[in-house]
Amino acid sequence: MDTNTHTEVQRYYGKELESSADLKTTACCTADEVPGYAKALLANIHDEVLQRYYGCGLVLPEALNGLRVLDLGCGAGRDVYLLSALVGAEGSVVGVDMTPEQLAVAQRHQEFHTKAFGYDQSNVDFLEANIEKLEATDLEDNSFDLIVSNCVINLAVDKGAVLRSAYRLLKPGGEMYFSDIYADRRIPEHLVSDPVLYGECLAGALYWNDFEQIAKESGFHDPRLLKREPVEVTDPDLRLKLGALRFNSATFRLFRLAGLEAGRENYGQQAVYRGTIAEHPEQFRLDEQYQFQRGQATAICGNTYRLLRHTRFMAYFDLLGDDSVHLGEFTDTKPAELEPGQADKPLAGGCC
C-alpha cells in the first residue's frame, strides 16, 4: 500500500475523527433503514462503539446462525458485535482493522458484549492488520462462510488485493457482502491526493464499471448489486472541488462459486423460497433483480440457480429444473406458470 495514504487514513480515523458527528459528508454513515430485529440488537451495543460507527450501508445478510464471519476494516466494531449476536454461540466473528485507536474502542467493550448477548465466552476476535496484505496474517484459506465490510474498500489503494484475499479466505460457496461508495466516473488524480476527500470515503471510490471488472478478475464472476442510494455532499467547498462527480453508496454480494457463466442464461429453471429464514418469513431479496416471495415459483437464470444451489441459501429454497436445455438469454424474473403439481416436486434444494 502507498505508505502516505495508509498513514493519512490511520491519522484520519485514529486522531481526527472522534465520532460520526465529525464527518464532513454523509458518505460514511448513510442512513439505511434498520429492520426491527436488528434495532433490538443494536440497543445492546455499547454507546462508544455506536458513536464511532462510520459505515455507509447496512451490513446485515440473512441466515447467519453458526457462521464464521470476517469483517474487513471493522473500525470500532459495531458490525462485528451486531453479527456476533446474530451468528450465535456456535458462530464467530473476526474483525480486522489497521488503526489501533479504532481497535482499542472495539476491544475495550468485548466483555460488555459477551455478557449483553448472554454468551459464556466471547465469539469475537480482533486483529490489527492491513487488509491489502492479509497473506501476512495467519487467517487461513477457505475458512470463512461470510466476509463483510462497511465503507472500507474505497480507502484501500490496492482494491484488487483485498478482493483476491477475500476470495481465497472464503470457503467455496461463501459470500462477501459489503457496502461501499462508488463514483459515476473515474476520480481525477488531483482529487485522489486530497486527504479530506480521501478520508471521507469519496476520493478513493471506484467507478462502477471498474469495480465490476476488478471483482471478476478476483474470481467473483457475477457480482450482485443489492441496493444503492445517492450520497449527498453538502459541504459547499467539497462540492465545488468535486465538480460533476456523483457518488452512490451501494451494497454488493459476491459469491465464491465455480462454473458461473459470463451472461444470464435461460434454462427454464425456477426457485421457490420456503419462508424459513426466521427474520424473513414472507420474502427474501437476493439482489436488485430477484425478490422471492414465500411459496411462489420465480423464474431464475442459470447463474442464480447455481448460486442458490451451492451456498448456505440452499437450505431455504426448492429449486426446479436443470440445465439440460438452453432456452437463450434470460430476461425475465416474473413468477413463471408452473405445471400442475410441479411445485410439490423439487428437483434440488435444501436438505431435510
Ligand X SMILES: C[S@@+](CC[C@H](N)C(=O)[O-])C[C@H]1O[C@@H](n2cnc3c(N)ncnc32)[C@H](O)[C@@H]1O
Cβ pair 48, 105 in contact under 8 A: yes
Number of residues counted as binding ligand X (CB under 6 A): 25
Eight-state DSSP code of residue 329: B
Distance CA 228, CA 319 (A): 28
Q: Is 95 in the site for ligand X (CB under 6 A)?
A: no
In degrees, rounded to 5, the angle at the alpha carbon of residue 102 between the alpha carbons of residues 215 and 166 is: 20
Q: Which residue is nearest to ligand X (CB)?
A: 75
Q: Is 163 in the site for ligand X (CB under 6 A)?
A: no
Q: Is the CB of 79 or the CB of 145 nearer to ligand X?
A: 79
Cβ pair 54, 151 in contact under 8 A: yes
Q: Is 55 in the site for ligand X (CB under 6 A)?
A: yes
User: What are the cell numbers at 222?
Assistant: 457475477
Distance CA 134, CA 162 (A): 8
Q: Is the CB of 8 or the CB of 318 nearer to ligand X?
A: 8
Q: Is 28 in the site for ligand X (CB under 6 A)?
A: yes
Cβ pair 134, 109 in contact under 8 A: no
Q: Is 156 in the site for ligand X (CB under 6 A)?
A: yes
Q: Is 159 in the site for ligand X (CB under 6 A)?
A: no
Output phi, psi for 165, to 5 deg: -65, -40
Q: Is 98 in the site for ligand X (CB under 6 A)?
A: yes
Q: Is the CB of 55 or the CB of 174 nearer to ligand X?
A: 55
Q: Is the CB of 58 or the CB of 242 nearer to ligand X?
A: 58
Q: Is 248 in the site for ligand X (CB under 6 A)?
A: no
Closest separation between CB of residue 313 and ligand X, Å?
25
Cβ pair 180, 152 in contact under 8 A: yes
Q: Is the CB of 174 or the CB of 204 nearer to ligand X?
A: 204
Nearest to 274 by CA among 305, 314, 304, 312: 314
Distant-in-sequence, close-in-space partners of 39: CB < 8 Å, separation ≥ 6: none
Identified binder of ligand X from the candidate list 146, 152, 205, 226, rule CB under 6 A: 152
Nearest to 147 by CA among 31, 67, 37, 260: 67
Q: Which stretch binds ligand X (CB under 6 A): 111-119, 146-154, 304-312, 340-348?
A: 146-154
Distance CA 250, CA 225 (A): 7
Q: Which stretch binds ligand X (CB under 6 A): 117-125, 127-135, 213-221, 311-319?
A: 127-135
Q: Which stretch binds ligand X (CB under 6 A): 84-92, 125-133, 254-262, 320-328?
A: 125-133
Residue span 187-226 as binding mask against ligand X, x where in contact by CB under 6 A, dash where not = --------------x-------------------------
User: What are the cell numbers at 97?
Assistant: 482493522
Q: Which stretch binds ligand X (CB under 6 A): 38-46, 67-75, 83-91, 164-172?
A: 67-75
> Burial letters for 159-168: b for 16+ Cβ neighbours within 10 Å, e otherwise?
bebbbbbbbb
Chain residues binding ligand X by CB under 6 A are: 1, 9, 13, 28, 53-55, 73-75, 78-79, 97-99, 102, 130-132, 150-152, 155-156, 201
